[in-house]
Every structure is written in structure tokens, then in C-alpha cells.
């Protein structure tokens, strides 16, 4: 039997990653798989990559890795020109780690001798920006996976822990290590066990972590001064364990589409008593329990 720890969406949160490593020590783990977004948002992107590479974990890129690879190049979409986080991320990583990220794969096929193969991607195959979520229909998922031969797949990106069975396929999402979005301040990951008959979810773990070093490092790096409104909302996502930037952008588009970001607009947004109406529907009633069907 092969035992896998599956983690994703670390987002530079070193205290959360260290808590997960400590928690994994009680299990007989054969390999750790990292399903993308190891970096960005949190202030410890370089430290997260150092741990992943030093431990020889299997790792892929997520959408946040593309921010560091494509920002300020001809590959970047035009609207990225206003983004404030990629330059800050570059300062965290430096050119050496960017070269490492440039050579990471976007997908993996895990092929152990004693269990069926697994396909790993960040969002959906060929697209790290779109996620399979509880609200995704069977028809959508079947279309997204039509060219994938493996019957067991691992995705991430949504930060929603999930186990689904759709059209004869088994779909796992371990949730987020670094940026929980369900209001619970704990890191999420999964342990899978494989044998000749297939893969089983042995455990979905929620691990508390000390966030004080995280906020101390945000303050040391002065992320609000460096990244403006986005920097402030990033810190609030870690503080609240809820989406903050996404609803702000929806609210701004609805009310001030012709204005640039400013702390005046941010103050008005933060004073709202109905921010949840601007959340994507899947996150409005999100709870910490594993979604299964």
C-alpha cells in the first residue's frame, strides 16, 4: 500500500506549512504531493520553496506561479499591468528561485506499482485558473476531464476540500494549507492510501497553526506600503480566513469601474455590512467540513 500526503495552496504561509509537516510525522507517509500555488499572497514564498525542494516532494505549478513567470512579459494579460503583488513576490524570491519555478511541470502522473495511476493538476487540465468545485456539474467535469485517462485525479485552486465521484472518476481536492477560506484558521490537507483496487481517503486533516509570525513578517515587509489596497486585503484574507480581494473587485466593478484603487474606496468597501453578497456563490455558505458526494 502507498500512502500519500496531498497538500496545495501553501501561498507562502510558512507557519501553516510547518504545522502540517509536524502533523504528517505521525503517519507513515511514502511521498508528499504539492498541487500548486506554493507561493504568493503569504510572505514566506522563498522559505516554502526551500522546504519543498529540500524534501524532494513532487510539485507542480499553480496559477500563482505564473504571476512570477509571466508578469511584465509579452505573455501577461494587459490588466496585469496594474497588479502590485508580482513585483513584491519577485523581491521575496529573487532570480534563482524564478529559474526553479520556470522548470516545474504543470501536471504530473503518479504511477506507483501497487495502485492505479493518478493525474495531478492545479485547476483543471490545461487551465490553472478554473477549479472543480462542489457546484461544478457532472457534465462540466466530464468535459474538463475527457482527455484524461486516469480515473483518479487531484486538483486544487478552490481552497475547498472535496471528494467527489463523477462519471466513474474519483476527484480529490485537499483544500488549502496556507489560506483557508471557510472561516476556520487551520491548514487543510489529505492523506490518500492506494492499493490494487484503487485509492481511498484515509484522512482529511485540519491543523491549527500560529499565525503570529505570519503577521509579524507582513509588517516587517510592509506589504501595505509595497502593494497598496491589494496588500491590505491580502492580509485581511489571512486574518479572516475568508475571501477579501475577490469581493472588493466585484464591488468596485459594480460601483466605481472607472476609478483606480485607492484607500478611500477601500475604506468604503470595508464599511459595508453585506460584503458576502459580492462573494462567488460557492464561498458564501462555505463551511469547514469536507465536501463529499
Looking at residue 289, what is its pLDDT? 80
Burial class (CB in 10 A: 0-12, 13-18, 19+), 281: exposed
Q: pTM of the prediction?
A: 0.97
Inter-residue contact 174 to 189 (CB < 8 Å): yes
Region 115-137: mean pLDDT is 97
Choosing from 150, 177, 209, the residue where a domain stops is 209
Looking at residue 229, what is its pLDDT? 98
- Same domain, residue pair 113 and 142: yes
Question: What's the domain range around 243?
Answer: 222-284
Region 7-26: mean pLDDT is 98
Is residue 136 assigned to a domain?
yes
- What CATH number is given to the structural domain containing 77? 3.60.21.10
- Same domain, residue pair 23 and 151: yes
Residue 271's pLDDT band, with cuts at 50, 70 and 90, is very high
Task: Please give the share of the chain, as a percent, with pLDDT higher than 70.
Answer: 100
Q: Domain total for the chain?
A: 2
Region 36-47: mean pLDDT is 98
- Same domain, residue pair 238 and 148: no
Among candidate residues 135, 165, 174, 130, the one with its CA nearest the CA of residue 290: 174
Residue 234's pLDDT band, with cuts at 50, 70 and 90, is very high
Q: What is the pLDDT of residues 199-226, one digit of tens each?
A: 999 999 999 999 999 999 999 999 999 9
- Same domain, residue pair 53 and 19: yes
pLDDT at 293 over 90: no
DSSP states of the chain as a string? -EEEEEE---TT-HHHHHHHHHHHTTS--SEEEE-S--SSSSS-HHHHHHHHHHTT-EE---HHHHHHHHTTSTTS-GGGGG-SHHHHHHHHHHHHHHHHHHT--S-EEE--TTS--EEE-SSBTTBTT----TT--HHHHHHHTTT---SEEE--SS---EEEEETTEEEEE---SS---SS--EEEEEEEEEETTEEEEEEEEEEE---HHHHHHHHHHTHHHHHHHHHHHHHHHHHHTS--HHHHHHHHHHH-TTS---HHHHHHHHT-S-GGGGS-HHHHT--SSPEE-
Mean pLDDT of the chain, nearest integer: 96
d(CA 293, CA 281): 19
Burial 251-280 (b: 16+ CB within 10 A, else e): bbeeeeeeeebeeebbeebeeeeebeebbe
- Same domain, residue pair 230 and 124: no
Q: What is the pLDDT of residues 133-155, one digit of tens each?
A: 999 999 999 999 999 999 999 99
d(CA 121, CA 109): 9
pLDDT at 100 over 90: yes
Picking from 28-37, 141-150, 233-242, 283-292, which range would have the lowest pLDDT averaged per residue?
A: 283-292
d(CA 199, CA 49): 28
pLDDT at 288 over 90: no
Q: How far is CA 91 from CA 43, 64, 178, in A?
A: 10, 15, 20
Region 98-111: mean pLDDT is 97
- Same domain, residue pair 92 and 45: yes
Supply angle C-alpha 251, 179, 176, rounded to 5. 120
Is residue 214 assigned to a domain?
no
Residue 93's pLDDT band, with cuts at 50, 70 and 90, is very high
Is residue 88 assigned to a domain?
yes
Is residue 230 assigned to a domain?
yes
Amino acid at each position: 500500500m502507498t500512502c500519500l500526503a496531498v497538500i496545495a495552496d501553501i501561498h507562502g504561509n510558512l507557519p501553516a506549512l510547518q504545522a502540517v509537516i509536524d502533523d504528517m510525522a505521525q503517519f507513515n507517509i511514502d511521498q508528499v504531493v504539492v498541487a500548486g500555488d506554493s507561493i504568493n499572497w503569504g510572505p514566506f514564498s522563498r522559505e516554502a520553496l526551500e522546504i519543498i525542494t529540500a524534501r524532494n516532494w513532487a510539485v507542480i505549478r499553480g496559477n500563482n506561479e505564473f504571476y512570477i513567470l509571466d508578469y511584465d512579459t509579452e505573455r501577461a494579460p494587459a490588466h496585469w499591468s496594474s497588479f502590485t503583488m508580482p513585483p513584491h513576490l519577485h523581491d521575496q524570491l529573487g532570480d534563482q528561485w524564478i529559474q526553479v519555478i520556470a522548470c516545474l511541470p504543470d501536471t504530473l502522473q503518479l504511477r506507483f506499482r501497487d495502485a492505479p495511476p493518478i493525474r495531478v493538476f492545479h485547476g483543471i487540465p490545461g487551465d490553472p485558473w478554473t477549479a472543480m468545485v462542489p457546484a461544478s456539474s457532472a457534465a462540466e467535469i466530464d468535459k474538463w476531464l475527457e482527455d484524461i485517462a486516469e480515473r483518479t485525479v487531484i486538483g486544487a485552486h478552490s481552497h475547498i476540500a472535496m471528494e467527489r465521484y463523477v462519471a466513474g472518476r474519483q476527484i480529490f481536492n485537499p483544500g488549502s494549507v496556507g489560506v483557508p477560506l471557510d472561516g476556520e484558521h487551520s491548514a487543510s490537507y489529505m492523506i490518500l492510501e492506494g492499493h490494487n483496487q484503487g485509492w481511498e481517503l484515509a484522512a482529511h486533516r485540519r491543523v491549527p497553526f500560529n499565525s503570529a509570525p505570519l503577521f509579524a513578517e507582513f509588517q516587517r515587509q510592509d506589504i501595505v506600503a509595497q502593494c497598496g489596497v491589494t496588500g491590505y486585503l491580502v492580509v485581511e484574507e489571512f486574518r479572516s480566513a475568508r475571501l477579501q480581494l475577490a469581493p472588493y473587485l466585484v464591488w468596485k466593478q459594480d460601483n466605481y469601474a472607472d476609478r483606480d484603487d485607492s484607500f478611500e474606496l477601500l475604506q468604503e468597501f470595508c464599511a459595508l455590512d453585506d460584503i458576502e453578497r459580492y462573494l462567488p456563490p460557492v464561498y458564501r455558505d462555505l463551511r469547514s467540513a469536507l465536501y463529499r458526494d
